[in-house]
Amino acid sequence: MRLPFPYRPEDQIVTQRLQSLQGALDWGAAAQAARPWVQAVRRHPPPFWAMESLLKEYPISSAEGLALMRLAEALLRVPDAETAIELTADQLGRADFDHAGDKALARLSSAAIALSKKFLPTATNSGQADEQQPGLFARLGARSVVAATLRAVQLLGRQFVLGQTIGEAMQEAAAARHRSVGLCFSYDMLGEGARTDADAQHYLDSYTSAIKKIATYADLASACERNDGISIKLSALHPRYEDAQKARVMAELVPRVWGLCELAATANLNLTIDAEEVDRLELSLDVFEALAARVAQHFPQWQGFGLAMQAYQTRALELIEHVTALARKYRLRLMCRLVKGAYWDAEIKRAQELGLPHYPVFTHKHHTDVSYLACARALLAAPDAIYPQFATHNAGTIAAILQMAESAPALAALPSGGAVSPGGGPSQKRAPAPFELQRLHGMGEGVYREVMKTPPAGEGAIPVRVYAPVGRHKDLLAYLVRRLLENGANSSFVHQLADESVGMDELLISPLRLEPEASLPLPLDLYGAGRRNSAGLDLTVEPMRAPLLAAYAATALPAVPEFDVKTTSSAYQTSAMSYQKWSKTPVHERSAILRRAADALEAELPRFCALMVKEAFKTWGDSVAEVREAADFLRYYANEAERIMVPVALPGPTGESNELRLTARGVWVCISPWNFPLAIFMGQVAAALATGNTVLAKPAEQTPAVAFEAVRLLHRAGVPEGALQLAHGPGDTVGAALVAQPGIAGVVFTGSTEVARIINRALAAKDGPIVPLIAETGGINAMLVDSTALPEQVADAVLQSSFRSAGQRCSALRLLCVHEGIADGVIEMIRGAAKELVAGDPADLATDVGPVIDRQAWGAIRRHLERLVSTSKPVTVIEDSTQSATNPIANLIPPSAFEVAAVADVQQEIFGPVLHIVRWRGDPAAVIDQINALGYGLTLGIQTRIDSRAQALAARARVGNVYINRNMIGAVVGVQPFGGEGLSGTGPKAGGPHYLARFCAEQTVTVNTTAAGGNVQLLASPA
């Protein structure tokens, strides 16, 4: 690793940053310098169309601000009028625009939007707009409102986007330079990260043409930093820009970016690589150094190559130190743009989902400010290697930078940068300024107007560069929302500057202070004091993944003896005898044993992951997630048992007490599948044990070793051997014998619907008590996508839901229903993204899709595929649908997708990486009815920006788990209780608050407290 471990205690890092600033910054003086700038901006506020004014009137924290943001994000891409009407009605209907403020913007916008709402239809229970509203005028009015709203959103976009083409943007830039002499621009070609190679080529062409256009106006004789430049996003130039695909990235992406560098260097432009998320930082540095080495070799005098750095990352200062060392190593001067950061909420959520020890970003805003100042000082201290570019709208931060710059090292000895002269040496030119300031187009103009009026004593004007997005309005969506979130939050300087109720002292308060505790619960404390989140790891961090690879090399699959069905009766007797003691063990003692098992499981995470990679052919990511899920089951059911097994006093007449108790049932048979050989096995067993039952556990015959080691771990934690016995063998012999055994108190099963029916019939045919069955089976799980959905998000969700785990999840997506208005583009994106997946050896970190479980499964899926090839329209070519595997591997089936004519054509679940796609039109509620008619009811995905539609469709669906605007796999214990209905299972949901009660019998105890001769309690009470 180039940088320190990313998940370290926040307070320790901030303490170090504060120490680095001691004696280097007088914040009081900086605040005093910033005060007149703030006063001037408040005396001369931005015009009513400026973004600051809009954010003041409708802050993102308000319903109105959120509605406008959602419309800005989605409305421009909706192709059909009816859906656009519904989206507009849905969002405007959730907010109150009737109360206008006293500003021109408030009067105009609020009045227009409030009036618009009167012409919009209301949503019905189906999520469709109500067609019964009065007459033609209302319908024409609704369309007019949408047209007006669309225009308003386009105007909103113009506040943030300099131009829809690079030519248009450069014209706007030229006009801005007339108003503010010396202004420079860094153009950013907007768009989402590439999902397909075609996307990457499109963005590469866009960057190439932009550089050529900018080059026509560049001054070869000027210092490079005085010319305009371009910012490029590496994730836009490669569809698999991620750590696991490093070999591909270095081989394919570096040459693409180098071509852009050559163009920029020849034209004396600056080219900055934009910042990405934490998990890509090390990879970004690998790419950056490879390019820096080429720059040093081919364009050693070029001083325009640069990198953006995010101060909210806890490793920001070490990143600057590392990049400074690279500059000196290759004898270059690099540009470094320092920003606060753009992915804070995503980084927080990822750390929570992965169960990481700490956050990789600061949780307090003023801690990020401290980091920014410490980083600024480090950048200013290295003028031989770094040209700092400070991107900020915070007046206090700007004043602090100017103060620290006064004591920064001089530039007299520095060589000037620029174009290479015909003779090969650098052109002669004046010494450049030591740094520049940057702002976003459409933001902070007032502050910078004042700053540029008052340059430091004895110096010329401070160079200012505008970061200028360029692109079609419908492509600006993600960027626009990100900027709105950053600058519209109540805590942002931009928001507070426009709010005169925020006093000057509060606005310019010193950030140089330490909060000892994070502002959010740490990821492991996500669920509160009662239950610890399972500890996970980040596979992109080498020290965290190294133990997994070491365990894989050292772990062998144990031989597991097969259960002799002739011993079924004696195994039952052993379990029944153990039940007598185990059921009487206090619930808190049983729960303590399960919690010890969870701790032990986390400690052995690498070994259990290695077991699953070897036996179940799981990828490393899936294996880590499964160990964590098993630990979550142990802790959650331990807590739940303590909660539900406490006797409940019930109300009744005086003179008696009434109490409801839950008790264990007896010996349970737990039959678990091979697709989750640890998590489902452990969940079933833990639920039975926690409630005082004993267990005969039959794992899938394909994965006995994982179950064998899980049983050993539970025994070591304190579960009596008689209370948990392993019975490995085929389902039709061992499973059947266990189910048929007289005296069995219950059966819990996860597997196919067909086998669940067999078990149900076998239990029904037995004499004696009616035996409860808890069955969780599969399903033809569908995802409905309407025309408001973002195609990139849909493609991500579809690939994860359909093809992760080789499609061998009960919850996996089998049927994609996509609106005809966007179907062509979405299907093409899915096709291209599927081609980028790597199918191969699950032990290889680069593998996305491993093999199916065995040859029998492989053969069944291949027969289905042959049928689909002849009856449907292939979307992906099976033999060429993914990247080639590193080594040939048995039972490998690459992801496949097929278009079918109707929902009803999909009658059977294919338990593998196979997706059916249907185009739909009309009422989405009718599509849900067709999905319901299939009879399954496990998972459903809904992709829409119409909130009322999402809720109406979810209520209409007869399924157990509905996922809106995300993937539909990976249910988390205690967060998304999992289980279906109909052909998909009996319930109750695993990992939910109603699950354990099914393992229990209920007993009500009523005591006549007056039997001794009178009601003492009543008589003793005051009259």
What are the residue numbers of the active site?
776, 810
- How many other C-beta atoms are found inside a 10 Å radius of the C-beta of residue 1006? 10
Query: CA quadruple 666, 667, 668, 674: dihedral positive or negative?
Result: positive
Cα–Cα distance list, 1008 to 631, 655, 656, 1014, 1016 (Å): 45, 6, 4, 10, 12
Euclidean distance between CA atoms 88 and 71, whole angstroms: 7
The residue behind tokens 């959730």 is 94
Euclidean distance between CA atoms 452 and 463, whole angstroms: 8
List Cβ neighbours of 610 (8 Å cut-off, separation of 6 or more). 548, 551, 552, 554, 555, 623
- Evaluate whether 990 touches 979 at the Cβ level (below 8 Å): yes
Q: Which residues of 565-584 are buried (b: 16+ CB within 10 A; e: fewer)?
A: beebeebbebbbebbeebbe
Euclidean distance between CA atoms 905 and 872, whole angstroms: 10
Q: Where are the alpha helices (DSSP H) in 428-541?
A: 445-453, 477-488, 493-498, 504-507
Cα–Cα distance list, 502 to 122, 208, 399, 429 (Å): 38, 45, 19, 46
List Cβ neighbours of 329 (8 Å cut-off, separation of 6 or more). none
- Evaluate whether 696 touches 738 at the Cβ level (below 8 Å): yes
Judged on CB neighbours under 10 Å (0-12, 13-18, 19+), 749 is buried
Amino acid at 736: A
List Cβ neighbours of 867 (8 Å cut-off, separation of 6 or more). none
DSSP assignment, residue 181? Answer: T
What strands lie across the sheet with 1000-1008, from one edge to the other? 648-650, 656-664, 1000-1008
Residue 935 has φ and ψ, to the nearest 5°, of 95, -15
Euclidean distance between CA atoms 923 and 902, whole angstroms: 15
| Strand, helix or coil for residue 265 | helix
Q: What is the DSSP string of 810-831?
A: TT-EEEEEEEHHHHHHHHHHHH
Torsion of CA 172, 175, 177, 180, to 10 degrees: -110
To which H or E segment does residue 753 belong?
helix 753-765
Number of H helices, E strands in the chain: 36, 23
- Evaluate whether 934 touches 780 at the Cβ level (below 8 Å): yes
Euclidean distance between CA atoms 439 and 416, whole angstroms: 25
Euclidean distance between CA atoms 181 and 64, whole angstroms: 38
- Evaluate whether 692 touches 639 at the Cβ level (below 8 Å): no
| Strand, helix or coil for residue 484 | helix
- Given the DSSP bridges, would you call strands 464-470 and 648-650 parallel, antiparallel or unpaired? unpaired
- Evaluate whether 808 touches 626 at the Cβ level (below 8 Å): no
What strands lie across the sheet with 724-726, from one edge to the other? 724-726, 694-698, 667-671, 746-750, 773-776
Euclidean distance between CA atoms 194 and 785, whole angstroms: 20
To which H or E segment does residue 8 belong?
none
- Given the DSSP bridges, would you call strands 773-776 and 746-750 parallel, antiparallel or unpaired? parallel
